[in-house]
Structure 1
Amino acid sequence: MNAAAGRPGLADLVAGLSIAGLLLPEAVAYSGIAGMAPQAGVMALFAGLLVYGFIGSSRFAIVSATSSSAAVLLAATTSVAGIDTAMRLVLSAGIVLLTGLFFIIAGVAKLGAVSSLVAKPVLRGFALGLALTIVVKQLPKVLAVHPAHSDFFPLVAELAASWRDWNVAGAVMALVALALLRGLARWRAVPAALLVIAGGIALDVSGLCQTWGVAAVGPLSIDFSHPGVPQLGREQWLHLGEMAFAVALILYAESYGSIRTFALRHGDSMSANRDLLALGAANLLSGLFQGMPVGAGYSATSANESAGAQSSAAGLVAGAVVLLAVLTMLPWIAHIPEPLLAAIVIHAVANSLNPAVLRPYFQWRRDRLIALVAIAAVLVFGVLEGLLASIGVSLLLLLRGFSRTTVSWLGRLAQGHDYVDTARHPEAVVPPGVLIARPEVPLFFGNADAVFATIQARIDATPGLQRMVLSLEESPDLDATSIEALCEFATSVRLRGAQLELARVKDKVRDLLSQVNSPDLPAAIYAAWSVDDAMQ
C-alpha cells in the first residue's frame, strides 16, 4: 500500500467528499466525449482511484478518465471504418488494456522520463487545439442539433448554418451552469458540479426538460460481474497497439505534468517509474471492466489539493463515496440533462483554452511556430492524427537539435586557465600552430561524420598546424559510428603531421576508447582532464 495513503484523517475525509461531487459528473461527461455509455467513465473512475491510491507516489494525484484521453479514444475507435457500436466498445477495451500494458513495460524498463521526448510547446499547442475541439464537439449536445460532420472546421460551419434549429433552452441551461461553476470555483470545498447536476436532475424530473426539448443522459447500469479480455485477432491487436501507444504517451505526459507540478509545489518526492506501474495497473483494471483510459488530470488533482487533501487516502475516500452514490442513486443519474454535462466538460478544459500559455514562446522567440503547428494539426487533421503529428514534430525537433554540426573554436582568455569561444570573445588568444575545437552537440551516428568534416575543413585551411585539441565535454557516450569517425579523424591528423589531444573526455568514453585500442588513439591522447591540461 502507498505509504502516503495510511489511515484517512479528517482533512482527507473532507477532501474526498468534496472531490467526489466533481468526479462523478465528470466521469459521466467524459464518457460522452469518448462516445461511450456513462458506465465506462464510472468504471474508469473506480479503477483509477483504487489502484493509484494504493500504488501511486503522489498524495494529490487523482487518476480517472480525462478529457484528452476520452477525445483520443473516440478518434481512435472511429478511425476504423465499417464497425458497429458493439465492436467499437470491444476495440475501446482493447486499446485501454494495451495502454496499461505499455505503461507496465515502460515502468519495468524504467522509462520514467519518456514524456520529455515530447516538447512542452508541442504539448501546450496540442492541449489548446484539443480543448477547442472538445468544446466545439459539446455544442451539438447543448444546441440539440445533429450535424453530419465531426471534423472541427466542417462542424463549426454546419453549426453556424443550422442556427435556426438551435435549442435556446439548452443553450441557456449550459450558460447558467458555466456561470455557476465559475462563480462557485472560488470555494474549492463546495461541490459545484454536484450542485449543478442536482439542479438539472430536478428540472428533468419535474418535466421541464422534456417541455424544453432538452435530452437527458438516459439509463445507466454498472456491472462488475463480467471482466474479460476482448477476443480479437492478431492483426486487430497490432492495429490497436498503434492507437494505444498514442493514448499512453499523451496520458503519461499529462499525468507526469500534473504529478510533478504538485510535488514541486509541496516539496514532495516522486517516483516516475512507480507511477508508470500504477497507471499501467489502473488502465489494465479499467480495460478488463470495459472502462476508459485513465490518467492524472490536472483539474481533478488541483481540486483535490485545494480541498485540503493530505495524503492519497483522499482519493480512496472519493472512490468509496462515488461507489455509494452509484449504488444508491443510479436511477437519478439517468436524469442529468446533456447540456449540463457539456457545461461541466467545457468548464474542465477551460484552463487549456487560455492562449496566454503560449505567450512566453513568442516573447522568447523560441518554438512559437512549433506550438502553432501543433494547434493546427489537431484542428485540421483531427485529434488522433494531430497527436501523432505533434509527436512527430517533437521527435523531428530532437533529431534536428542532435544533428547540428555546430563547432566552437576556443582560445585562452587573458592569462588564466579558461578557454572560451573566440567568436563571442575575440580577445581570447589562440597559440600559433594550434586549433582547439569543441562540438556543441553530443556526437552520435546522425552528426558525427558532419562534425568531423567541419573540423577537417578548418584543419585544411590552417597551414603549419602542429597541435589539434578536441574537447568532448558535450559527449557523455559514443556510438559505433561516432567511434569510427573519431578513429578516422585521428588517423587524418596523424597523417597531417600534427599532434591530437582529446580534452574533457568523460569516464565512460575513456573506458570505451581503451576497448577500441586504436593505434591512433592511445591512452596518452585522452589523458587530459581539461583543455588547459591538454595545452600544457
Structure 2
Amino acid sequence: MLQSLKNTWFFNIRGDVLAGLVVALALIPEAIAFSIIAGVDPKVGLYASFCIAVVIAFVGGRPGMISAATGAMALVMVTLVKEHGLQYLLAATLLTGVLQIGAGYLKLGSLMRFVSRSVVTGFVNALAILIFMAQLPELTNVTWHVYAMCAAGLGIIYLFPYVPKLGQLIPSPLVCILSMTAVAMYFGLDIRTVGDMGELPDTLPIFLWPDVPLNLETLGIIFPYAAALAVVGLLESMMTATIIDDLTDTSSDKNRECKGQGVANIASGLLGGMAGCAMIGQSVINVKSGGRGRLSCLVAGSVLLLMVVFLSDWVSQIPMAALVA
C-alpha cells in the first residue's frame, strides 16, 4: 500500500509541486475567460477548475494530466445558460457526469486505440493555433510596455533553463510569472492584469443542489446539452491523455479516465461549477514544467482555490502579458 502511494503520488514531489504552482497561476485567467464565454459569473469557472482538478487527481486514469473548465465545453453550454440560466447548467453538469461514468463502464475509452496518429497530430496543431489566436486580443491596441513584458517573458521561459543548477530546479514559466509580476508592481505599469478580467471569489464553494424541477420536462431541456458536453469532454480528454502518454512514454487507463471525468463533473455541479474536461495546453505545461504524478494536479487545484480566495489582492495584479508569454 505504501509503495503504491509512493509510486503514484510521491515519486516526484518537487517536480509535481512546482509544476502545480505554474498550472494554478495559468488556470486563473483561463477559468475566468471560459466563464465569460459561457455567460456565467467568473467564480463558476474558478470553482469548477478547482473542484475538477482536485477530484481527477484521485480518480483519473492519466497521472500528470490537468483537467478543469475548458473553452470547448463553455461553447457548448452558451445557449443553455442564455435560455434557461445557471441552475439548468448545474443540472446539465450533473447529468454530463453520469453519462461519462456510463461511457467508462461501457469501455468506450478503449476506442482511442483506433484513432490514427495523423488525427492526434492534427488535433494538437489545431489547438496550438487556437491557443495562439486566443492570445492576440491581449496584444492588440496596447502600450509598448505589454510587448516589452511579453518579449522579456519569452526570454525568461526559453533561457532560464540554461542557468546552472537553478535552471533545472525551478520551472521557467513560474520564474516568468513571478518576475514579471514583481516588475509590473514595482514600476506601477498601467497594463491589463488578471483582476481586469473579472471579480475573483472571496468565499469557499458550498454544496449546492440545482434549483430545477425534477421532471421529464427538465430532462428534455438538459439532456441534449449534457450529451454534447459528455462527448466533447471525453473526446478532448482522451486525445489529451494520448498526447501525455507520448510525452511521458507511459500508458494510461482510458476507461478509468472516462469514469474519473464523470465523477469530477458531478462534484463540480454540486459545488456550483460548470462542466470541464482535460486541458491540452495546461497538461503540456505541467509535463514540461516537471509534473508527472497525481500530486501535480492536486497541487494545481488546491493552490488555485487558495490563491483566488485568500490571496486575491496579489493574484489580481499578475499581468496578462506574463501569462500570454
The interval holding the TM-score normalised by the smaller chain is 0.7 to 0.9
* 2:294 matches 1:291: no
TM-score, normalisation: structure 1:
0.48
Q: Pick the aligned partner of 1:43 from 41, 47, 72.
A: 47
| Alignment deviations for residues 498-527 of structure 1 (CA, whole Å, 9 cap, x no partner) | xxxxxxxxxxxxxxxxxxxxxxxxxxxxxx
CA distance in 1, matches of 2:29, 2:212: 31
SS in 2 for 1:112: helix
When residues 142 and 234 of structure 1 are mapped into structure 2, their CA distance, relative to the original with a 3 A threshold, is farther
| Cα displacement string for residues 176-202 of structure 1 (whole angstroms, at most 9, x for unaligned residues) | 565455444435533267448836984
Alignment partners' CA distance in 1, 2:295 and 2:16: 6
Q: How far did residue 13 of structure 1 move?
A: 2.3
* 8 A Cα contact 1:22 1:192, kept in partner: no
Secondary structure of the residue that 2:108 maps to in structure 1? coil
Match of 1:105 in 2: 102
Structure 2 counterparts to residues 64-75 of structure 1, below 5 A: 64-75=68-79
Return the index of the structure with the highest Cα Rg. Answer: 1
Q: Work out which of the residue numbers 53, 56, 72 in structure 1 matches 2:57.
A: 53
Distance in 1 (CA, whole Å) between partners of 2:87 and 2:307 is 27
Aligned to 2:163: none
Between the aligned partners of 2:35 and 2:263, the Cα distance in structure 1 is: 20
CA contact (8 A) 2:68 2:278 kept: yes
* C-alpha distance 50-135 of structure 1, shift in aligned 2 (>3 A): closer
Q: Call closer, same or farther: CA 1:109–1:309 in 2, change over 3 Å.
A: same
Measured in 1, the distance between the counterparts of 2:153 and 2:222 equals 37
Does the 8 Å contact 2:73/2:233 carry over to 1?
Answer: yes
The aligned counterpart of 1:374 is: none
C-alpha deviation, 1:281, in angstroms: 0.6
* Letter paired with 1:225: I
Tell me the C-alpha RMSD between the 2 structures. 4.0
Which residue type is aligned with residue 220 of structure 2? L
Q: Residues 61 and 255 of structure 2 are in contact (CA less than 8 Å); yes or no, is this contact kept in structure 1?
A: no
Match for residue 244 of structure 2?
262
Percent sequence identity is 25
Provide, for residues 33-88 of structure 1, a one-character-per-residue CA deviation record: whole Å limited to 9, x for no partner. 3232221222112212211111112222011112222233335433x3xxxxxx52
Call closer, same or farther: CA 1:279–1:134 in 2, change over 3 Å.
Answer: farther
CA distance in 2, matches of 1:107, 1:303: 27
Does residue 96 (structure 1) correspond to residue 93 (structure 2)? The answer is yes
The 1-side partners of 2:256 and 2:124 are apart by 28
Cα distance in 2 between the residues matched to 1:65 and 1:257: 16
Distance in 1 of aligned mates of 2:103 and 2:267:
17
Q: Report deviation, 1:132.
A: 8.7
Q: How does 1:332-481 map to 2 (within 5 A)?
A: 332-333=314-315, 340=320, 344=323, 347=324
Aligned pairs (5 A) from 1:103-502: 103-113=100-110, 120=119, 124=123, 131=130, 135=134, 139=137, 168-169=141-142, 175=147, 178-179=150-151, 182-186=154-158, 188-191=171-174, 194-195=177-178, 198=181, 202=185, 208=190, 215=196, 217-218=198-199, 220-232=201-213, 233-333=215-315, 340=320, 344=323, 347=324
* 3-state SS of paired residue (1:191): helix
Provide the rounded CA distance (Å) in 1 between the counterparts of 2:245 and 2:295. 16
Kept in 1: contact 2:33–2:197 (CA 8 A):
no
Shift of 1:174: 6.0
Distance 1:298 1:230 in 2: 33
- Distance across 1 between alignment mates of 2:124 and 2:290: 31
Per the TM alignment, residue 128 of structure 1 is displaced from its structure 2 partner at its CA by: 6.3
Between the two structures, name the one with larger relative contact order (CA 8 Å, sep ≥ 6). Answer: 2
> How many residue pairs were aligned?
305
Residue in structure 2 matched with residue 17 of structure 1 by the alignment: 21
User: What do residues 144-202 of structure 1 show as CA deviations (whole Å, max 9, x unaligned)?
Assistant: xxxxxxxxxxxxxxxxxxxxxxxx44x76765565455444435533267448836984
Counterparts in 2 of 1:268 and 1:118: CA distance versus 1, 3 Å: closer
Amino acid at match of 1:48: I
Q: Gaps (5+ residues) in structure 1?
A: 81-86, 144-167, 349-536
From the two aligned structures, give the one with the greater helix fraction.
2
Equivalent residue letter for 1:229: P
One-letter identity of the residue aligned with 2:292: Q
User: Cα deviation per residue 1:365-391 (whole Å; 9 max; x = unaligned)?
Assistant: xxxxxxxxxxxxxxxxxxxxxxxxxxx
Q: Return the structure number with greater strand share.
A: 1
Q: Which residue of 2 aligns with 1:486?
A: none
Match of 1:256, as an amino acid? M
